[in-house]
Every structure is written in structure tokens, then in C-alpha cells.
Structure 1
Amino acid sequence: MDNKPQAPHLQRGISTEQLACEHLQASGLHLLHQNYRLKMGEIDLIMRDGIIIVFVEVRYRKTARYGGALLSIDPRKQARIIRTAQHYLQYRAPNAQARFDVVAVEGDNQLNWIKNAFEAG
């Protein structure tokens, strides 16, 4: 068993994802998977909003300098999320509607939830 303490940036990432998950659940979404990982990429949260499967990228930045949390999700990162989501849908929910949301957290837990932040193309 590995009981080494986690690096502060990893601890912050976990607490930020938990904050985002709790916010989305309080808004009526239901958690399906957390940290869904494949070789091609990872999706922080997979949730259900009614009949829609929602793939959520959670980003934290201490400050808005250099564009902040939202702008840190570049086209390459979006493409990895989309490929991973397509795999998920193909094998777990082939007929489901989907959307891609972003929860951007900056500073002292200032949360911004952007629905339909990007599209699969």
C-alpha cells in the first residue's frame, strides 16, 4: 500500500474536481464516472443531465493570467476529450445525446460552468 502524501498540485486537482462534481450534482446532474481514463485521453467527470450524457473537463488556475482556466483547454486537449467521449459512447451509450461542458475554477474556488463549451465537430 502506498501512503506517500500527494503533491500539492495533485491534491488541489482532486479537491477542484470534487467541488465541480458537487456543484453539478446540486444543479441536478447525476455522476456516472469520475476520471474515466483510456490510452487516448481522460475525462474528468461523466454525468447525466436528463437524457444527455455530459462530458466535463474541470480546470483550475490560480489566476486568470495567461487566459485563465477556460482558455487552457486548447484544440488538442479538446480533440483528446472528444476521442475518449466517442469511445465511451460507442461502447456504453451508443444512442445517447452528448455535450461537452467545462467547469473553470480560478483563485479561491470561483467556479464558472460553461455548458456546450465545445462540440465534437
Structure 2
Amino acid sequence: MKTDRKAERSGIVGAAASPMQARGREGEERAAAHLAAQGVRILARNRHCRGGELDLVGLHGDMLVFVEVRMRANPRFGGAAASITAEKRRRVILAAQWWLAGEGRRHAHRPCRFDVVLLEGPATTPPTWLQAAFDAD
């Protein structure tokens, strides 16, 4: 049985992941596999801090890459890219700063980039990797 790590951290041990969480994890696995095939070494997954979250952190050459994974099975409410709001970008940037100050401090000297992997349509549709999708400005 898959468990929900967020629920476990909150004290609900053994809580089952919701279907949405399971789909999200599957999407992040697809994105990580796609990035790895393109030469990105994944350093961290699903890092949470107060006010933000990082889906994936990786190294692409010497570049430290913070990756937001966005999934949309149906474009009815806009595609996956449309779901990356200014608030979402702010939260990813906040989490990246937090990660660099803690777990990732040994990588703090590296140049950083914010990428997005879009997963749209059926699982057989290849991911779209948007490098330098947004800036920390």
C-alpha cells in the first residue's frame, strides 16, 4: 500500500495516498525519467517547506535545476502551462531558497534555473520540458 508522506509527517501513520496524490507521484516519476534520459541527475524529490514545495531538483551539467511538474489530462480549463501562476512561481522560488540554505547548501555556488515539465493528455504523450521557464526576479 502506498502511503502519504505528508500525512505521515502530520502524525497519520499509514495513511493511504489519495488517487490525486498517486497520479501526481506517477507524473513526477514520468518527469524524472524523462529528465534523466536527457542527462539530468535528480538530487531531490518532493521537498516541502512552509509556503512552498519542490517537485524535483536536479543537475543538468553544472546547472542546478528546480523543476515544477504540471499535469493536465484535459485542457478544458487551460493546459498544464496555464496552471503555473505567479503565486505558484513565488512558492517554487521560496522553496528553492529554503533548499539551498539547507539540504542543498553544497550546491549554492552553482547557477540555478527554474524549469517546468508539462504532462498533458494520456500517459503515452511525451512530456514537454520547458527549460528556464521562469526567473527568480
Please give the TM-score of this superposition, normalised by the length of structure 1: 0.92
SS of 1:59's partner is strand
Residue 88 of structure 1 corresponds to which residue in structure 2?
A: 99
SS of 1:36's partner is strand
The Cα offsets for residues 19-69 of structure 1, whole Å up to 9 and x where unpaired, read as 000000011000100001111211000000111110000011111222211
Q: Is 1:116 the equivalent of 2:132?
A: yes
Letter in 2 for 1:16: G
* Counterpart-to-counterpart distance in 2, 1:24 and 1:37: 21
Please give the TM-score of this superposition, normalised by the length of structure 2: 0.82
* Counterpart-to-counterpart distance in 2, 1:94 and 1:76: 24
Provide structure 2 residue ranges, at least 5 long, that are not aligned to the other structure.
1-12
Residue 49 of structure 2 corresponds to which residue in structure 1?
A: 38
Provide structure 1 residue ranges, at least 5 long, that are not aligned to the other structure.
none
Q: Is 1:27 the equivalent of 2:29?
A: no
Q: Which has the higher strand share?
A: 1
Q: Is 1:99 the equivalent of 2:110?
A: no
The Cα offsets for residues 48-91 of structure 1, whole Å up to 9 and x where unpaired, read as 01111100000111112222111101000100101111222234
SS of 1:68's partner is coil
| Identity among equivalent pairs (%) | 39
Q: What is the root-mean-square deviation of aligned Cα atoms in Å?
A: 1.3
Q: How many pairs were matched up?
A: 120
Q: Which has the higher contact order (CA 8 A, sep 6+)?
A: 1
